[in-house]
Structure 1
C-alpha cells in the first residue's frame, strides 16, 4: 500500500488559505460591529409612500385629535407619524418631554420653517418666527439691546401710561352708559393702542371713537393680527409637501396674504414717510421705536436694517404684543 505525504507547498497553501479566511472573518465581524446602530423609531401607523400619513390626518376633523387617538390605539406616550418626508414625534408624557428639552435643547430651540412663517417674516428676516442663524442673532441683538432694554422701557413709560388712562376712560364711558364691557375687546385693543403708540407715536390710524374705543381701522388692524396668529403654525399639508403650496388646498396661504395686505395698508405709508424724513434731515430726534429702527447704523455708518427687515419685524412684534397680554388678562 502506498502512503500519501503532503508536500511543503501544499501545506503552505492550506496555511495561507486558513489565515486569509480568518482575516476575512475578523474584518467582517469588526465591520458589522462598527456600523452605527440605528435606534428604532417609536411606534406609529404605517405610512403611505411619498405622502406618509397625511391622508389619514387630512380626513380627520382635527389633526390633534387624530394624533391623540392614534397614540391611544398604540398604547404609547411617544409615537412616530410620518407626514410627507418629515417624522413627527408627538409626546404626551411629561417625563419624556423633559428629557427632550434637556438632552436635545439645541435641536428644539430653533423654529420650524412653515409656509405661514416664511410669508409673515418676509423670507425669515425677523426674530421670533425664524430658525437659528446669523439673521436671528442680528435681530435678537437689536430687540434686546435697542428696542426693549431697561433704559428703553423707561423711555416708553409715558406712552404706556397714556394708553392705560385711555383704557380707563373707555371702561368708564361704557359703565356710565349702562353698557357691558367686553374684556376681550378692551384688552386686545389696549394692547393694539400701546403698540401703535410705541412704534408709530399714534393711538389711531383713523379718527377713533369719542368714548376711547377702537375705530374701524383699528378693528380691522387687530383682526388681521389674529388671522396671522391663527395660521402661523396651523396644520397645513404644504408644510410637509412643499410643492402643494402652488395649489393652496387649505386656503391658508391666501388668508395669510390677505391679512398681511391689511396690515401693510396701515404700516407701509407711515414707515416709508418716516424713512424719507430721516434721509432728508427733516427728522433727527427719536420719538418712538420706528425711529430707533431707522436710525440704527452699522460699523460703516450705513443703515443697519433694510426697509424689508423693518416692516417684517414690526408686524412680528405686533403679533406678540397683542396676543400674549390680552390672553393672559382674559
Structure 2
C-alpha cells in the first residue's frame, strides 16, 4: 500500500510539472475564454453527467468559443454555427485527425477502424470502400429491396405482437438486420426479434456508446492512466472481447456459407484483402473487423434512437401527427405500406426528421478532433494538440440560428414558407450538422438519413400509437441519457394499433 501511494503521488507531481511547463509556454498567447479549473485535473470534473448541457450553459457565460483544460490537454468547444464553420470548413484540414483516446485503443482495434483512424492513407482507403460499396447512390439503390423487406418484417412483427412494444428495441433489430444483410449477406437476428440475440447486441452497442461518451481522466492525465481511476479501460477491454467474439463468429459463418457469387461487403473486403497483399496500405483481418464494428454500431443505435425521439415528439403534438398521417395517406394511400420511392414526395415527413435531428442529434457532442498545427480562430490562439469538440446539441438550440421558438418542436420551419426552408443535414448548413461536417463528416450520412425517414414514415403511416395506462402525451418523459449517442433515458413503450386496410400488412 505504501509503494502504491508513493507511485501515485509521484505521478501527480510529474503531471503537475508538465502542466506548469505547458502553461509557461503559452503564457503570452491569447487563448479563448473559459472557466478556471481544478489543479491537475482542470475542468474535467465540472462536466457532470450530461456534458453537452453543461458546455451549453458555460457557452452562455464565456461565449461560443470556449476554452477548457482536461488535465494537460487544451480543449476548445464550438457552440454556434459560425464558430463551427471556422473549424469544420476554414480550418478543416488542420482538424482532420482524432486525438488519442482509450476507446479507440481498447475497443476500436487500436485506431485501425474508420471512425478513429488518423487522417491519412488507411483512413482514405476505408472511407473510399464504404463510399463506393455501401453509401453511393448506386449501392443504396441496389440494396433498397433489402431495407424495404426488413421494414415489412418490422411492421408484420408489430401487427402479430398484439401488445405494447419497446419501439427503440424493435427499430434497432430492424436496422441491424437491414445493415447485416448488406454487410454479411444475411440477417443476424430472427425476423420477429425474439430470443436473446437482439437484446444482447443492443446492450453491447449501448454499453459501447456509454463508455465512449465518458471523458476518461487517464486520457488527459497520462501520468495516472495506469491507475485506470474510473475503471473504464477494464470495461472497454471486456466489451471489446465480446464484440471481437461476435465479429469472429460472423466472419467464420460467412466463410462457411460463402460462394463466389456473394456481393456483400464482407465478401468484397476479403477479396480486397488478398489483392492488397504486399502494398503499402494493407487491408488486414483487423481492419475488416474494425470496419464492421464501426458500421454495426454507428448504423444501428443512432438510427433507432432518432426514430424513437421522432415518434415521441409526434405523439406529443397530435395535430402535427394528424397532418403527417394525412400527407402519408394522400401519397401512399391505405392499401399498401410506404416505400422508399415515396419519401421525396413527403415534405412534412422530411421536415419532421430535420426537426428531430435539430433537437435530438444522434451525436450531441461531435467526435473529437485534434489540431495538427497552431492556428488562430477569431483572434484566439489555438495550440497544436488541442482537442476540438463541436456542441451539435447547443447549435440546434442557438437563438441566433433558430430565432423562432428554438426549444419547441416546429417542423414547419423547414417547409417552403418557413424561415429555414432549404437547410439540410448534409454538412453544408452549419446550424444543422447532426452528421458532422468537413472531411470527417459521417460516411453513412445518406443511408442514415434514408433509414430514419423510411422508418418514421412507416411507423406513423401503419399504426396509431396508444400510450400505456397512466401515460399522457404531454407528460411523456423527455429526459436524455448521455453517451456518444443521445438516447432516451426511458425507453418509449406503446401499443401499435393498425390503421391501414388488412391487405397492407400481408
Note whether the superposition's TM-score is higher than 0.5: yes
* CA distance in 1: counterparts of 2:265 and 2:89, whole angstroms: 36
**Alignment partner, residue 268 of structure 2:** 292
Structure 1 match to 2:127: 140
**Aligned residue number for residue 32 of structure 2:** 42
Could you tell me the TM-score, scaled by structure 1's length?
0.73
1:221-247 CA distances to partner (integer Å, 9 max, x unpaired)? 122012112222421112212343322
Give 1:125 deviation, angstroms: 1.3
Gaps of at least 5 residues in structure 1 are 1-36
Match of 2:158 in 1: 171
The 3 A distance-change label for structure 1 pair 321 and 46 is closer
Q: Secondary structure at the match of 1:110?
A: coil
1:1-330 residue pairs with structure 2 within 5 A? Answer: 39-46=29-36, 50-54=40-44, 56-57=45-46, 63-64=51-52, 67=55, 75-174=62-161, 177=162, 179-204=163-188, 208=190, 212-275=192-255, 283-296=259-272, 297-298=274-275, 305-330=283-308
Deviations 1:5-58 (A, max 9, x none): xxxxxxxxxxxxxxxxxxxxxxxxxxxxxxxx964112334456654444x437
Shift in alpha-carbon separation, 1:164–1:273, aligned structure 2, 3 A: closer
- Given the superposition, is the C-alpha separation of residues 270 and 107 from structure 1 closer, same or farther in structure 2, using an over 3 Å criterion? same
- Whether the 8 Å contact between 1:117 and 1:124 is mirrored in structure 2 is yes
Mapped partners of 2:253, 2:153: distance in 1: 27
TM-superposed CA distance for 1:90, in Å, is 2.4
| Aligned residues of 2:185 and 2:262 also touching (Cα < 8 A) | no
Q: Is the 8 A contact 2:34 2:62 kept in 1?
A: no
Q: Is contact 1:121–1:130 with CA below 8 Å preserved after alignment? A: no
The alpha-carbon deviation at position 123 of structure 1 amounts to: 1.5
C-alpha distance in structure 2 between counterparts of 1:186 and 1:160, whole Å: 15
Q: How many angstroms does 1:93 deviate by?
A: 4.2
TM-score, normalisation: structure 2 = 0.49
Q: How much does 1:217 deviate?
A: 1.5
Rounded to whole Å, the distance in 2 between the matches of 1:232 and 1:170 is 32
Between Structure 1 and Structure 2, which shows a larger proportion of helix residues? 1
State the distance in 2 between where 1:181 and 1:49 align: 49
Cα RMSD for the two superposed structures: 3.2
Contact in 1 for aligned 2:72/2:220 (Cα 8 Å): yes
Shift of the 62–171 alpha-carbon distance from structure 1 to 2, 3 Å rule, reads closer
Ranked by relative contact order (alpha carbons within 8 Å, sequence separation 6 or more), the top structure is 2
Q: Which runs of 5+ in 2 are unaligned?
A: 1-26, 309-506
The structure having more radius of gyration, on CA atoms, is 1
